[in-house]
Amino acid sequence: MLPFTELVVFADGRVAPCCNFIIEPLGTTGVDSVLKKSLVDVWFGKEFNKLRKIVEKRKVKQLPKTCTECSFDLSPIDKRYRKEN
């Protein structure tokens, strides 16, 4: 799953687990930005860790809408995760 392996930095400095979050920023509760924090601080910060815990605990209903309605071709691991939950 993406919050464990990659991130995207948009031109305006916002950071998200994938490019699909341009529509719904990660944590509409407070988007992290590399203009305010280091990339390392964002990667290990509150929003990414919150998303990782949701994924680890398989709480699919708590995933952001962007994740649950993802239309990207998913890896076999991601497909299995969704199917099991």
Q: What are the tens digits of pLDDT across the range 38-84?
A: 999 999 998 889 888 988 888 888 888 887 777 766 655 566 666 66
Does 31 have pLDDT greater than 70?
no
Segments forming the whole domain that contains residue 75: 2-84
CB atoms within 10 A of CB 15: 23
pLDDT confidence of residue 28: 47
Q: What b/e sequence results for 32-44 when a residue is b if at least 16 CB atoms lie within 10 Å of its CB, and e otherwise?
A: bebeeeeeeebee
Does 26 have pLDDT greater than 60?
no
How many domains, in total, are found in the chain?
1
Please give the sequence-ordered ranges of beta strands (E in DSSP) within the chain, or none if there are none: 8-9, 15-16
CA distance 47 to 49: 6
Q: 24, 65 in Cβ contact below 8 A?
A: yes
pTM of the shown model: 0.70
